[in-house]
Amino acid sequence: MNNSANLSKLFNFSYQDVLNNVLIKDDGIKFGGENETISSVIGKNLLKNTLSPLGNLINMILNLFDPNHAVKSIKKL
């Protein structure tokens, strides 16, 4: 796993309250899962249609660099 993915996992866990409040709707899939990147949670919420306007904006920005990035990054269980 590369350093950016590890950093994303750390931020996903450490800042879960902020991410849950600003990037998803109340009924969205929550941030903070162990060993999961922020992009993976954004992808799950994109598919569930529970991203907030800011969450959708971040997803659009990610797509500029890597088309369909968030959905491709969904953690395989």
pLDDT at 3: 87
On the question of pLDDT at 77 being above 50, the answer is no
User: Model-level pTM greater than 0.85?
Assistant: yes
* Range 64-77 average pLDDT: 88
pLDDT tens-digit series, residues 15-67: 999 999 999 999 999 999 889 999 999 999 999 999 999 999 999 999 999 99
- Sequence-separated contacts (24+) of 33-38 with Cβ below 8 Å: 33/75, 35/9, 35/75, 36/9, 36/12, 36/75, 37/5, 37/8, 37/9, 37/12, 37/73, 37/75, 38/8, 38/11, 38/12
On the question of pLDDT at 75 being above 90, the answer is no
pLDDT at 1: 56
**Domain residue spans of the chain:** 3-72
